[in-house]
Structure formats: structure tokens, C-alpha cells
Chains A and B, each alone.
Chain A
């Protein structure tokens, strides 16, 4: 086979698969901008005969905007706290002779590998006991606790690979361990932090299980669980449901497009390490 023919075959195969992969997304985008009457009269599979943003308006005003705000209130502090705590732990565990450091690292990672099902009942009861059940605060602390092990593990691997000389030079200049962490190690860890931040953002924003375990009221539900409620509320209003899924996907797609390289490397690092 000549290289030109093989190139054509490649593009035909890869192109067909890619189009098939994107087809469901295209179908939902089209459904989202159709009118309810058009879908009701002509069916979902028909060629669209209307264009309206009414589905988006309905999804947004009937809980969408509040849910999006709840998601911000959960996702931003969770990502920040997780990375702050885990980079501090990773620094101490990777650059100093903490007694039992290997055991601590593996114990923390093991906690993250537990199937969350083991934790659901006790965690839900624990939040009730502390009087924080059904609050966004509960969702934040639970997710920080559960994610820490993984972030610490990835970050300590990254920090261990840093050359010792920088730290030694700073020590001779009289910098304490906290200053070295803040001024030298953290800035050098930036690529790993960016990758983890992009990953953590999607995981937390997309979470369903923890949210429906520690939350009950619709007023505090973030976007992902709120989508389920939207589905129940707008049975067979497919334009509203499609618009709701599009709205829910926009933040993570935006983060992915903006931090594409970090995102992909984060996924690979996280799994291969």
C-alpha cells in the first residue's frame, strides 16, 4: 500500500469513528434549541423545524442558576483546600525524614482507593451528628477528606524528583522550611498543581454520589444532582432536559479546553504513577 493510500484509509477510519463519537453530542445540541411544540408534533428524530433558546431559559430559571452557584460554592473551596492540604503533606513527606513516611503515604493513598460505598452510611450519619447534614460545608469537607490521599501521592512523587541543591542553597541563606515550601517548592510544583486542579475540578463538579449522600434539599443541590431533579420535573420536555445537560457540561468542557495539556498529563500521571 502506498503511503498516500494508507493516509487516506487512516483518515477515513479515524474520521468516521470521530464523527460517530460526536454524533450524540450533536443530537443533543440540536434537541436543545428546538421548541417543545416542534418535538411534540414531529418527534425527536425528525428534522428540526424550529429554533428557540426557550429550553435553556427554562432550565436556567427553574433551578439551573441556583444549582450552578451551589456548584461554585462547593467546587472552588474543595479544590483549593484539597491542594493546599495535600501539597503541605507532600512537601513534608517528600523532602524530610518523617518517621514512617512510606507507610503514611500508602495509607493515605489506600483511603482514596476504598470503594466510596463503604463510607456512605457512616459519613451520612457523621454529618447528621455534627449538625452539618444537608449543608454545602458537609459536601466540601467530605470530598476534601476523600481526595487528599490521591493528591498527596501524586504531589510527593513530583516533589521528590526536584533537585536537592535548591533547597540546600536556600537553607544556607537562612530560609526556614515554611519559606522554602512557599517560595521555592510550591512554584516549582506548579505544573503538577495545575494538572491536579483541572482534574479535581471536573471530578468534584461532576460528582453525584457524595452530593446525594450528604444533601437532601433541592435548594442546596449542585448542578450534577440538580440535573436529575430537572429530568423528573420536565418529563418528556426533551428540549429542556437537553439544554440542562448542555449547561451542566459547559464548565468542565471550558476547563478542559483551557487546560487541555495539563488535563491529559494529569490523567496519565495519576494512573501510571
Chain B
């Protein structure tokens, strides 16, 4: 009956096979179909015709794809980078247990539980002309992507902060006391005690922000639908509108594969780490 025994009771095989079959049917099987559809020009009505790598070749000449790819890169750097830096900064600030610190942590965390749709409506109210701005920054193609990024950051920073707070908990407070006695400045304590101990959390945060950046969809979709004039388009929103509004299902599948390829390295790193722990 223990892990070392050789015979596994048959009922336990069902315990594994049923969930595996559900995931296989709704995830693995559709994923394989998605990779196949990316090689076709399917429109959802007539049977899909094989076009090889034609969809990928088409991206090279597609200006909207270029905008979406550039915006996705901006998103990785700004959404990912700023939420990591901000989350770490706030975690270090709120690291020590002291009076009132729970309230501050909760205040920064509250937006994490809102849906991104609710978050974007909140910010749309703030962006309305006659409020903080004379004209909505969402309506200007030059600023739309950044106007969408701010609410996404507002929500993500608290999440990253929680990840770092969990990591900082593992650091022995005695190290800080010793360093303070030796006259170390706050920066020196961070540089020589905190940072070296955050190695594994940093790699977790890196995977989380890359995966979250590439998955980001809701906030852009609810605020701008990728507009005006595709100026705030991400690969994810372009993929969705190509599939379900333009009904170019083959091309949309190829766009999805591009997102997968970008996420691939991070997914593998995440799995390798999971494998080591098992």
C-alpha cells in the first residue's frame, strides 16, 4: 500500500485516468488541433486547406502583426519589469512585522482580487474627459497602450509583492541584526543579504510575469479592443479578433502558435524546476 509496493489497486488507476482523460480531451487534443490548424487557411465553414508555413510568411507583411508584436514586447518590459521592481520594492518596505503593516499589505493587495474587466471599468471612469485628463488617453493611438498598462500594473504589483513577501519570510532576521551592528546601510543590507537569498523567488517571478504578460488579454479587450486603429493591440487580442471576428481561423491559430513559442522557454524552465522538486 505504500509507495514502495508493486501492485496498485485498480480503482486508483481510475483516480488518475479520469482526470487525465478530461484534460486530454479539453487541453491536449485541442492543442494538437491548434498546431495543425495553424498550417491551414481554415475559415470555419469550408474544409481547411493545407498552406504549409504560409500563415507565418503572411505575418511578415502584416502591419497589425508588427504593432501587436511590438506592443507585446513593450508589455513584457514595462508590465513585467515594473511589476517585478515595484513588487520587490513594496515587499522590502513591508517586510518587517510591525504595527499597521498588515493594513498596508492588504491595501496593495485588494486590486488583485478584482477581475481585469472590473479593473478596466474603474480606470475608464478615471480616464474620462473632465476628470484627471482633458481627453481620454485611451482615445489617442500614441498613448492608448500605456493607458491600458497602468490598470494592469495597478493589479499585478500587489500579486508580485505577495510572492516576494513569501520569499523574504525565509531570510533569517539575525542576519539583518548582525549587519546593522556592523554598520551596514539599508542598501548594503539589501545588496548583500536580501538579494542573494531571493534567487529562487526571482526565477519564479520571472516565469510568472512572462507567462502573465503573454496571456494578458482581458484588460486590453475591455478597455480598447486593441484600438484605436490597432494601436493597443497585443498578440493575444489580435489572435482573438482574427479568430472570432474576422473568422480567419487558420491565421489566428498561427498567431496563437507564435504566443506559444514565445512562452515556451519559460514553460520549460518552470517544468524543470517542478521536476527537480518531485
A: residues with CB less than 8 A from B are 7, 10-11, 13-15, 17-19, 21-22, 24-25, 27-28, 31, 43-45, 85-86, 88-89, 91-93, 95-99, 102, 104-106, 108-126, 141-142, 144-146, 148-149, 152-153, 157, 164, 167-168, 171, 176-178, 181, 202, 205-209, 212-213, 224-225, 227-228, 231, 238, 241-242, 244-245, 248-249, 252-253, 255-256, 260, 263-264, 267-268, 271-273
Contacts and interface: CB of A to CB of B under 8 A. Distances in A.
B8 to A, nearest CB: 5
Interface string B249-271: 10011011101100100010011
Contact of B115 (A104, A148, A249): A249
Interface of B: 1-6, 8-9, 11-13, 15-16, 18-20, 22-23, 25-31, 33-35, 37, 44, 90, 93-94, 98, 100-101, 103-104, 106-111, 113-118, 121-126, 128, 130-132, 154, 158-159, 162-163, 165-167, 200-201, 204-205, 208, 211, 214-215, 217-218, 221-222, 235-236, 239-240, 243-244, 249, 252-253, 255-257, 259-260, 263, 267, 270-271, 274-275, 277-278
Contacts of A263: 113
A272 B19 contact: no
* Most B Cβ at <10 Å: residue of A157, A181, A206: A206
B2 A168 contact: yes
Nearest to B101: A14
Contacts of A25: 110-111, 122
A113 B275 contact: no
Contact of A24 (B8, B28, B126, B217): B126
Contacts of B256: 115, 117-118, 120-121
A49 B20 CA distance: 58
A108 B113 contact: no
B155 to A, nearest CB: 10
A145 B23 contact: yes
Given A157-B277, A252-B115, 17 more contacts: A10-B98, A22-B107, A43-B130, A96-B5, A113-B271, A115-B259, A118-B259, A118-B260, A122-B34, A122-B37, A123-B30, A124-B244, A141-B22, A141-B26, A145-B27, A202-B113, A271-B208
Contacts of B4: 97
A206 B19 contact: no
A181 to B, nearest CB: 8
B116 A88 contact: no
Q: What 6 A-B pairs have minimum CB-CB distances, sorted nearest first?
A: A145-B26, A206-B115, A122-B30, A268-B166, A18-B107, A117-B256
A214 to B, nearest CB: 11
A89 B24 CA distance: 14
A120 B19 contact: no
A28 B116 contact: no
A98 B10 CA distance: 10
A13 B154 contact: no
B267 A268 contact: no
B113 A115 contact: no
A227 B94 CA distance: 34
B16 A98 contact: yes
Given A18-B103, A18-B108, A109-B274, A241 B121 contact: yes
Nearest to A213: B244
A17 B89 CA distance: 12
25 contacts: A13-B93, A18-B108, A21-B108, A27-B126, A44-B130, A85-B18, A86-B19, A89-B19, A96-B5, A98-B16, A109-B271, A117-B215, A121-B252, A123-B26, A145-B25, A145-B27, A146-B27, A152-B19, A205-B115, A206-B115, A208-B116, A212-B244, A241-B125, A267-B159, A267-B162
A92 B93 contact: no
B19 A85 contact: yes
Contact of A177 (B12, B98, B201): B12
A120 B217 CA distance: 13
A249 B118 CA distance: 7
B121 A231 contact: yes
B130 A45 contact: yes
Nearest to A86: B19
Contacts of A207: 115
A127 B4 CA distance: 42
Contacts of B22: 85, 141, 144-145, 148
A253 B158 CA distance: 15
B161 to A, nearest CB: 10
Contacts of B132: 45
A109 to B, nearest CB: 6
B26 A142 contact: yes
B27 A111 contact: yes
Given A14-B93, A22-B107, A256-B113, A177 B274 contact: no
